[in-house]
Amino acid sequence: EPEVTQTPSHQVTQMGQEVILRCVPISNHLYFYWYRQILGQKVEFLVSFYNNEISEKSEIFDDQFSVERPDGSNFTLKIRSTKLEDSAMYFCASRGDIMNTEAFFGQGTRLTVV
Amino acid sequence: GEDVEQSLFLSVREGDSSVINCTYTDSSSTYLYWYKQEPGAGLQLLTYIFSNMDMKQDQRLTVLLNKKDKHLSLRIADTQTGDSAIYFCAESIRGSQGNLIFGKGTKLSVKP
């Protein structure tokens, strides 16, 4: 069964460092998303990406964050100058098309900022 | 803004039915979803319902939607220990790019 894969599963970084979280969406999918879940909190939408550009972003997704699809398979989330409050589980998701009801989620990357 | 609320914990005995409830605020929801998250795992779609439906049944799962009250429930019949997980209610909003608004999740504990 096709799946969304995320690497690494756990990343520890020092405050102020840059991190790149990687995702490989399902190969024929067109819509890509990043969500985050701070421990004990809701899963929050960060950004959606379609046709090589951001289609929607939340107020959480400020200038510290960026997304990229550097090749035909990867979808990355970059966090510049990480803060302690960026510690969370980050989920990538993909969807076949806008009418497709199911968004497939990856296993998540747990980011710990120390 | 949009909001989705769920109770945080539910404990049931094996073999009983579980009912997990959710309320949402946005009346322009198109689809409403139930996701399951097992420890250390990602979010797995269990089932979904289109906003113009009242009920959907899928094996042991029954979803009820009361659009007037903006209330969604997930019933799991004959709950098993393997059903222990966190269950998230989520909605997609008309006009959005398919992004989902999630609740905080309900932790279901199934006692043998």
Of B42, B90, B103, the CB nearest to A107: B42
Measure Cα distances from A109 to A12, A21, B107 in Å: 10, 7, 21
Determine the Cα–Cα distance for residues B70 and B54; give it in Å rounded to an integer.
11
Query: Which of A3, A7, A1 shows the shortest CA–CA distance to A90?
Result: A7
- Contact list in A for residue B45 (CB cut-off 8 A) is 102-105
- Contact list in A for residue B42 (CB cut-off 8 A) is 4, 91, 105-108
pLDDT at B99: 85
CB contact under 8 A, B98 and A44: no
Gap from A56 CA to chain B (nearest CA, Å): 7
**CA dihedral angle for residue A35, residue A36, residue A37, residue A39, rounded to 10 degrees:** 170
pLDDT tens, residue order, chain A (114 aa): 778 999 999 999 999 999 999 999 998 899 999 999 998 888 999 999 998 999 999 999 999 999 999 887 899 999 999 999 999 999 999 988 766 667 889 999 999 999
Query: Higher model confidence: residue B79 or residue B28?
Result: B79
Tell me the pLDDT tens digit for each residue of B24-33: 987 777 889 9
A41 interface with B at CB cutoff 8 Å: yes
Residue A16, both tokens: 């102020």
Q: A109-113 and A53-57: which strand pairing?
A: unpaired
pLDDT at A98: 65
Please state, rounded to an integer, the average pLDDT across all residues of chain B.
91
Determine the Cα–Cα distance for residues B4 and B33; give it in Å rounded to an integer.
11
With a pLDDT cut of 70, the percent of chain B lying above it is: 95
Give A102's DSSP letter.
Answer: P
- Contact list in A for residue B31 (CB cut-off 8 A) is 101
pLDDT at A21: 97
Instruction: Give the mean pLDDT of B94-110.
Output: 86
Gap from B88 CA to chain A (nearest CA, Å): 9
Report helix, strand or coil for B82. helix
* pLDDT over threshold 90, residue B41: no
CB atoms within 10 A of CB B93: 18
Instruction: Give the mean pLDDT of B76-103.
Output: 89
pLDDT at A99: 65
pLDDT at A84: 97
Query: Which of B107, B60, B62, B61 shows the shortest CA–CA distance to B87?
Result: B107
CB atoms within 10 A of CB B92: 24
- Contact list in B for residue A43 (CB cut-off 8 A) is 43, 88, 90, 100, 102, 105
Of A42, A55, A104, the CB nearest to B102: A42
